[in-house]
Amino acid sequence: MEANRSRRRWTYAEYASLPMPSEAGGARNEVIDGELFVTPSPNRSHQATVGHLFWQLYGFSREHGLGKAFVSPFDVLFGEGDYVEPDIVFVGRERVGIVSERGVEGPPDLLVEVLSPSTRARDRGIKLERYRHFGVAECWVIDPDRRAVDVWKLAAGAPEPITLGAADTLRWTPIHGGPTLEISLGELFAAE
């Protein structure tokens, strides 16, 4: 199912007045480059993958005092016309001042997108382009169907992702330093 798309430029006030996912049957709203996208609620395997990964990232960042991790629905506000809901957001302790009651107001250190049939093209296309444009340091695009993770080092200007498979271990060190989190992708993809 493809997401519904609007053809006019949305303001934050209009976006904020839309029903919450719990009020809209689980549908998620995002405004990307001024256009509204409404996406159906994610499926079970998507949510299992997000939950398993968030549990690891949240626990690790909390244990080591690295910053704040959030799971969708939690807005990332890049500026007028760009309000997104990545599956997982991490902001390092040096930048937690960009976290407000509205969401993360500026580029996070790490964004995670777990692909769904309705979001695949947008997550790998325009959203990734916007993340690079707004200065997101790193983005993981997780494809449960391929059992692969594309690690985009956006702050480093990497033109291509590092692609990891189910037999690999994802290693992540926050951009401002700290210990390294190791995630078994075999376990992640078995989380369904």
16 belongs to a structural domain: no
Bridge-based pairing of strands 138-143 and 110-114 is parallel
Within a domain: residue 164? yes
- Each residue's pLDDT tens digit in the chain (192 positions)? 445 554 567 777 777 777 666 565 667 777 778 777 777 778 888 888 999 999 999 999 999 999 999 998 888 999 888 888 899 999 999 999 999 998 999 999 999 999 988 888 888 888 898 999 999 999 999 999 999 999 999 888 878 899 999 999 999 999 888 999 999 999 999 876
In a domain, 76, yes or no: yes
- 165 in a structural domain: yes
Looking at the structure of the chain, the number of domains it has is 1
Distance CA(172)–CA(151), nearest Å, equals 10
Residue 163 covered by a domain: yes
19 domain residue, yes or no: no
Strand partners, 162: 151
Phi, psi for residue 104 in degrees, rounded to 5:
-95, 120
Q: Do 72 and 50 form a contact (C-beta atoms < 8 A)? A: yes
Maximal CA-CA distance, the chain: 45
In 3-state terms, what secondary structure has residue 63? helix
8 Å CB contact between 123 and 113: yes
* Cβ atoms within 10 Å of 177's Cβ, excluding its own: 9
Give me the domain span that covers residue 167. Answer: 42-190
- Do you know the residue count of the chain? 192
Domain membership of residue 2 (yes or no) is: no
| CATH number of 140's domain | 3.90.1570.10
pTM of the predicted protein model: 0.85
Residue in the block written with tokens 């968030």: 54
